[in-house]
Structure 1
């Protein structure tokens, strides 16, 4: 009697293959939101530092424009970076290294910006040199070939976003203007400050957070060079001097004990893997589905980017006189939060999302599927957009404000947690060939960037108009309508079974 076949290994976080490679990808993805999302904690105050005469409405507009210029640069270049990553003359790794170093240089530039025009230049530079999101998504699909693990593997990138949202804004909120926010360390008569405080921190009050994140981005670039394998189908087996140096350093550090843990790549036929995926799902992509997939990507990025711009300008905006309000729709003002409290709001968002992604998402996706999770949880964003303006009506009670604000944010973050990975996987499955993964993700990144130009620009302008015309809820209610159209577009997609 032949022995029973072994049971297949259960799918879990511990069973995901190629953890070392995924760790480098995760670190590379984490470094960018640490830097990018940190701006939201102090951007309002940095713009006011550029020009103290600006009103809250004008600052909201400028914040939207500054967010949009980054997306505009990405829109112009993401497709070309995706094409470069697919080219056998360049590959995935060099594109990632350029992106990391470009982000580090722009962060250093923001360190010492003293005008809006300088800030615009360095934000444009950051977007123009960075096509990393699409390339990292491509590499995840090439590192983890087994489809059983893909839902968890693709979840790692948005998880990094949430970790960045937790750490980045919290750190930058405390480190911004350190002479005043940390006077015992950097202020006059302090440990490092001397008689008048740290001089360069007084001259450039928002340099310290960016300096720290530039170092992290540079470290991530080094980790890619030394620790990440090239995954381009035509380049993966070619000699890699960076990896050779990385392995040499590991052997030196571990005194030769690393050989028994060395990774030996498994060779597989990518075209066969692609055909297996198609035959398993029994689907052939149609141009209409590809277009609808890109449309949902555009709409999702549109209302998410607009929300981030509006929300983090609304939090520090001064409170308004409630005598002029005409409820339930005509009211104005923000919550008047400091940079530290804005950073804490960012951290709250990340702390809500991270346990959902780690504990609930894998189990729920296994039972209802990726696309159904998108359908079920997107309406929570619609509800959150409708309710979010109303906390500005609350009395100036810290506990009450945070309870109500957190309750609405739970809906928004829950929606984002279950929707964002689905948008990535839907786009990834649009690729007609594994050799075009980088290009497809580059096109999707350009489309997403176009939405992130429009969202913050229009959202910031609408918020500025709403603050001036006693109608501050209007931009968020418009986002609710856009999210509704996003949901309808999703229902029309006849996509791959996931």
Structure 2
């Protein structure tokens, strides 16, 4: 035993220098955990944008063909009538989402997340095919409603993302993935709708003379949608793992069947010379390398028992900002293609106060689709390479607020492109205002999802909060185009094409700016839970 030494005890103690803390490596796309699960979820996320945006490039021509160009009194359908019907047709999809989003959230909490993704995906495939072969407005309206019901589960996908990736350092990229896929789906949907609508006329060297395409001129893009979603359905059935805590680890028939199929393929590839044991080993290192998406943290019995509620002022303001974004953005997505398709008015009055003029850009459906999809590509570049850097430097809330300021500027300027003489100058102007809107929504959409997620006081309420958020955003995406179409029709009747842009869209966007400045940026619900647990331990 060492003796007590007063000399040694009184000697000055020199503290050994601590080794410098190793800097944590930066988060990259390749460092995301559970990438395979996130990619399958992303493939399923394609359902909504493909189903919702494919019709936009040809919406004007679709409505004009379905009502045979005449109204009930036998008069030729006016641009205001087409705009009003277009708003209702676009709103039907989101209205069905609104009516079923909370139902999907409750079913997901009871029966599991995977089933609430797989079965609606199958319904979405059927709805796309039905819409493409619809020949009357009531029929296409019905299939739009079915498609909206099938895509009311977006909140479940966001909840699943939060359950797969729980660490905050991965949040910006994990929660960016679904909006990134949404933007990609929008671009693909717009391009498909623009290129493949009326294929016997737009691509006569390929589809010329095909009778069923002449009878159903808008069926081909929806058929391609159905094919893409069928592939996503196979991935979900055979590879997506359950993340509901009470169902994790239970047998999954879809995954079992997929493994049996892969095992059979491996045996055939080896010409029967591989043993079953080697196949099993390859499967364990291949298919089974996907770890189950388990909740981080202790079991529910050891969770802190402090009550949590969604009825707070911070959550209410966050939900308001989350809802106002699709309120004007969805209306823009419907109004802008109509604006581009409406025939150009050669008799525009350039004199006066510059308010009363009407008309559109007079582009065809293929030009509209290519125009919108081409500019949407810039959104993908921003989300993949620019947004994570900006979010890390300025924070999610600052990016969200900056984006909201850009929306009103874009809406105010849009109608004035009609007053610019010369097709080149006019095209440059429309490119400018469209770029403003695309950049704004590219920055705002992923930020809104992260802010809503971080507003949840507990992981237990995350699914409910996203269900409420999806319900409100669906209502906004229903009301926005419907009201926008009505205001646009009234504006055209009085000779003011800019009415809907200067009053409705700009007004909602300015209200969004005001709400964004009252929002707060919180921590992720899992971090909040760990903080509470540490306090309880202390």
- Does 1:130 find its partner at 2:155? no
Kept in 2: contact 1:225–1:243 (CA 8 A): yes
Kept in 1: contact 2:34–2:293 (CA 8 A): no
Would the alpha carbon gap of residues 59 and 83 (structure 1) be closer, same or farther in structure 2, given more than 3 Å must change?
same
Kept in 1: contact 2:96–2:152 (CA 8 A): no
- The residue number in structure 2 matching 1:287 is 312
Gaps of 5+ in 2: 1-15, 71-76, 268-278, 525-538
Q: CA deviation at 1:364?
A: 0.7
1:61 & 1:410 partners in 2: Cα distance? 26
After superposition, give the CA deviation of every residue in 1:2-36 in whole Å (9 maximum; x if it has no partner). 98775433211121111111110111112431232
**Matches of residues 136-215 of structure 1 in structure 2 within 5 Å?**
136-187=157-208, 197-215=209-227
Would the alpha carbon gap of residues 323 and 490 (structure 1) be closer, same or farther in structure 2, given more than 3 Å must change?
closer
- Does 1:242 find its partner at 2:254? yes
1:64 & 1:99 partners in 2: Cα distance? 24
After superposition, give the CA deviation of every residue in 1:395-445 in whole Å (9 maximum; x if it has no partner). 351x32332111112211111111111111122223343233222211111
Kept in 1: contact 2:129–2:226 (CA 8 A): yes
Select 1:109's aligned residue among 111, 130, 139.
130
**Matches of residues 61-140 of structure 1 in structure 2 within 5 Å?**
61-87=84-110, 90-140=111-161
Kept in 1: contact 2:51–2:147 (CA 8 A): no
**Matches of residues 440-455 of structure 1 in structure 2 within 5 Å?**
440-455=465-480
- The residue number in structure 2 matching 1:300 is 325
- The residue number in structure 1 matching 2:51 is 35
- Does 1:473 find its partner at 2:485? no
Kept in 2: contact 1:57–1:465 (CA 8 A): yes
Q: CA deviation at 1:102?
A: 1.6
- The residue number in structure 2 matching 1:47 is 63
Would the alpha carbon gap of residues 99 and 406 (structure 1) be closer, same or farther in structure 2, given more than 3 Å must change?
same
Aligned with 1:234: secondary structure? Answer: helix
Kept in 1: contact 2:309–2:457 (CA 8 A): no
Kept in 1: contact 2:164–2:293 (CA 8 A): no
1:137 & 1:400 partners in 2: Cα distance? 42
TM-score by length of 2: 0.84
Q: Which runs of 4+ in 1 moved over 6 A?
A: 1-5, 283-286
- Does 1:329 find its partner at 2:355? yes
1:437 & 1:86 partners in 2: Cα distance? 11
1:340 & 1:268 partners in 2: Cα distance? 46
Would the alpha carbon gap of residues 454 and 266 (structure 1) be closer, same or farther in structure 2, given more than 3 Å must change?
closer
Q: CA deviation at 1:208?
A: 0.9
Would the alpha carbon gap of residues 35 and 254 (structure 1) be closer, same or farther in structure 2, given more than 3 Å must change?
farther
Greater mean alpha carbon deviation, residues 213-222 or residues 253-262: 253-262
- The residue number in structure 1 matching 2:365 is 339
Q: CA deviation at 1:323?
A: 4.3
**Matches of residues 342-381 of structure 1 in structure 2 within 5 Å?**
342-381=368-407
- The residue number in structure 2 matching 1:382 is 408
1:240 & 1:373 partners in 2: Cα distance? 41
Would the alpha carbon gap of residues 123 and 473 (structure 1) be closer, same or farther in structure 2, given more than 3 Å must change?
same
What is the aligned residue count? Answer: 482
- The residue number in structure 1 matching 2:13 is none
Kept in 1: contact 2:322–2:469 (CA 8 A): yes
Would the alpha carbon gap of residues 357 and 254 (structure 1) be closer, same or farther in structure 2, given more than 3 Å must change?
farther
RMSD: 2.5
1:266 & 1:201 partners in 2: Cα distance? 45
Aligned with 2:244: secondary structure? Answer: coil
Kept in 1: contact 2:341–2:362 (CA 8 A): yes
Would the alpha carbon gap of residues 323 and 336 (structure 1) be closer, same or farther in structure 2, given more than 3 Å must change?
closer
- The residue number in structure 2 matching 1:404 is 429
- Does 1:58 find its partner at 2:81? yes
- The residue number in structure 1 matching 2:291 is 264
- The residue number in structure 1 matching 2:273 is none
Greater mean alpha carbon deviation, residues 466-475 or residues 64-73: 466-475
- Does 1:487 find its partner at 2:487? no
Gaps of 5+ in 1: 188-196
Would the alpha carbon gap of residues 404 and 272 (structure 1) be closer, same or farther in structure 2, given more than 3 Å must change?
farther
Aligned with 1:395: secondary structure? Answer: coil
Aligned with 1:492: secondary structure? Answer: coil
1:458 & 1:266 partners in 2: Cα distance? 42
1:132 & 1:468 partners in 2: Cα distance? 38
- Does 1:459 find its partner at 2:476? no
Kept in 1: contact 2:387–2:443 (CA 8 A): yes
After superposition, give the CA deviation of every residue in 1:368-388 in whole Å (9 maximum; x if it has no partner). 100111112211111101111
